[in-house]
Amino acid sequence: MRTPKPARLSVIVAALLPHFAASPAAAQPGPGTYETLDSLFVSLAGDTVPAQYGFLWVPEKRSEPQGRMIRLGVVRFASTSPSPGPPIVYLAGGPGGSGWDAARGSRFALFMALREAGDVIALAQRGTHGSIPFLSCQQPWVYPLEQALTREAFLQSMLDWSQSCADSWRGLGVDLAAYNTVESADDLEDLRRALGVDRVSLLGISYGTHLALSFIRRHPGSVERAVLAGVEGPDQTLKLPSDVQSVLVRLDSLVRADSAASARFPDFLGSVRTVLDSLDRAAVTVNGRDPSTGQAVPLTIGRFDVQWLTAGSIGSSEILAQLPAIFDRLEAGEYSTIAPFVAASRSRSMLAMTFAMDCASGTPPGRLDRIRREAEEALLGDAVDFPLPYVCEAWPHRMPDEALWAPVRSEVPVQFVSGTLDGRTPPRNAEEVRGGFPNAGHVTLLGAGHSDDLLLSSPRLVELVLGFFQGGSPLDETIEVPFRIVLPQ
């Protein structure tokens, strides 16, 4: 290990993020090589803190240890405790989220607070921003603005785009099938060894909990404790339409319990049905604006547009609070309300890593059958998952082993965290996984959605997570977080 003098952040970025190119295996550092560089870490808000950047070399594919090596990015924030516990490794969601980006953004303050328990480490998982290769697709997926989004046309468009992106990375010698949760879990073990510690603690959110559970299964002696927020169990990669429907039903109940909201929106679920039925009969064309050129263009909105947009935002409590007002306007024919969002959704930059990881995790046949049955009754169908799993045929991926779907069983202390308005990783996910963890607790956040809500929505939650990493027992607790239906001005 080498520790150079402090360097500017721009120097680190320049060193870490050049375009990935194939290179002979003989010219690459060996597996487990870990280089460090001291510098200042700068958050998006302008906060600065000393940090150590690490560059960990791991095999792209462990079944070929003499093959290509890839490099993972690590940022380590030193503990402020005089007697720190094991390092806390943050595992981002997605898949495709980067610990580097999370540390720079809204979770910076949380990471700084957790330093009271131990060093905090933001990991750029293989294929994400901060690692090499960073598996971004060169061209965004684009769908014509003048055509309504339908399942069939959407899938064909996504298959064509997927094939193009996969081919471009294959041409660079990248084995996309090596980007899976098993390899990523073994990356974590290599990181633990490189850090020179007996155990690490884990802070995982969403897909990061899926990765954490794989690590606990594969390397049980390497984990001190774990906080898993928004749980995605081994067999829970694809979301259940019934969970999304439950959030809509719960939102309807919250509207009815609010006198002002219920007077303004007397039948939220009825409005959703009316809008979807109307669009099923005929798509609507409105004046839109091409987000890439800024020019005025006709924009056609169909039923699946609304289903997909709504399902994609189902984890955001901020958007959920506005849904009754949005569907009220749509029911009145005011589709210009959502025109900018529909237009923006028709062009998306995505990562090859996201598809390879999710396709490799797979879904048990019984759960897939359940999804198909539930989609027939749920207002949003299976839009929360679409285009998975149907697009997987275009992505090289490691075929899932049924053993990977089995429950994880461990004595590791775990604190589960769930939000009652989270349709992507609902509380029942955590309860299912909890069956394999006798030393676990479950914090339920009333009124919380997905993402930041699961970590930042309450000072009590931050206090509880810090106390747990400092050696406290896992707790069963219910915390109410602010949530209020937004009324039109």
Sign of the Cα torsion 195, 197, 198, 201 reads negative
Bond from prior residue into 31 cis (ω within 30 degrees of 0)? no
Which residue type occupies 251? L
What's the full length of the chain, in residues? 489
The CA distance from 105 to 252, in Å, is 32
Contact 414, 225 (CB under 8 A): yes
Cα(384)–Cα(304) distance, integer angstroms = 11
Rounded (10°) angle between helices 207-218 and 181-195 = 70
Question: What end-to-end distance do the CA atoms of the chain give, in Å?
Answer: 60
79: nearest Cα among 50, 102, 105, 45: 50
| d(C-alpha 80, C-alpha 190), whole Å | 25
CB 31 within 8 Å of CB 190? yes
Retrieve residue 216's tokens.
Answer: 């606990």
CA distances from 472 to 219, 256, 411 (A): 23, 39, 15
pLDDT at 314: 86
Residues 6+ apart with CB under 8 A from 360: 177, 179, 180, 181, 182, 397, 398, 399, 400
Structure tokens at 461: 């939650």
| Distance between CA atoms of residues 38 and 74, nearest Å | 12
CB under 8 Å to 229, separation ≥6 — which residues? Answer: 203, 204, 205, 206, 209, 416, 417, 418, 454, 455
Q: How many CA atoms lie within 13 A of 264 on its CB side?
A: 19
Q: Assign 277 to helix, strand or coil.
A: helix
The position carrying tokens 């690692």 is: 131
**262 Cα distance to chain centroid:** 33
**Paired residues of 284 in beta bridges:** 301
| Count of beta carbons in the 10 Å neighbourhood of residue 8 | 10
Q: With left for phi above 0 and alpha for psi between -120 and 50, is residue 2 left, alpha or beta? A: beta
Each residue's pLDDT expressed in tens, for the chain with a length of 489 residues: 333 333 344 344 444 443 333 344 446 788 999 999 999 999 999 999 999 999 999 999 999 988 999 999 999 999 999 999 999 999 999 999 999 999 999 999 999 999 999 999 999 999 999 999 999 999 999 999 999 999 999 999 999 999 999 999 999 999 999 999 999 999 999 999 999 999 999 999 999 999 999 999 999 999 999 999 999 999 999 999 999 999 999 999 999 999 999 999 999 999 999 999 999 999 999 999 998 899 999 999 999 999 999 999 888 999 999 999 999 999 999 999 999 999 999 999 999 999 999 999 999 999 999 999 999 999 999 999 999 999 999 999 888 888 999 999 999 999 999 999 999 999 999 999 999 999 999 999 999 999 999 999 999 999 999 999 999 999 999 999 999 999 987
> Domains (ranges, CATH) in the chain?
1-135+197-234+409-489 (3.40.50.1820), 141-169+238-394 (no CATH)
Peptide bond into 389 cis (omega under 30): yes
Collapsed DSSP state (helix, strand, coil) of residue 237: coil
Please say whether the dihedral angle defined by the alpha carbons of residues 346, 347, 349 and 352, taken in this order, is positive or negative.
Answer: positive
Judge residue 46's burial from the number of C-beta atoms within 10 Å of its C-beta, 0-12 exposed, 13-18 middle, 19 or more buried.
exposed
Which one, of 95, 96, 101, lies nearest residue 122 by Cα? Answer: 101
Distances (CA, A) of 346 to 178, 307, 451, 474: 29, 14, 23, 43
What is the C-alpha to C-alpha distance for residues 326 and 318, in angstroms, rounded to an integer? 13
Structure-token match 């559970």, residue found: 213
How confident is the model at residue 8, as a pLDDT? 41
CA–CA dist 167, 396 (Å, integer): 10
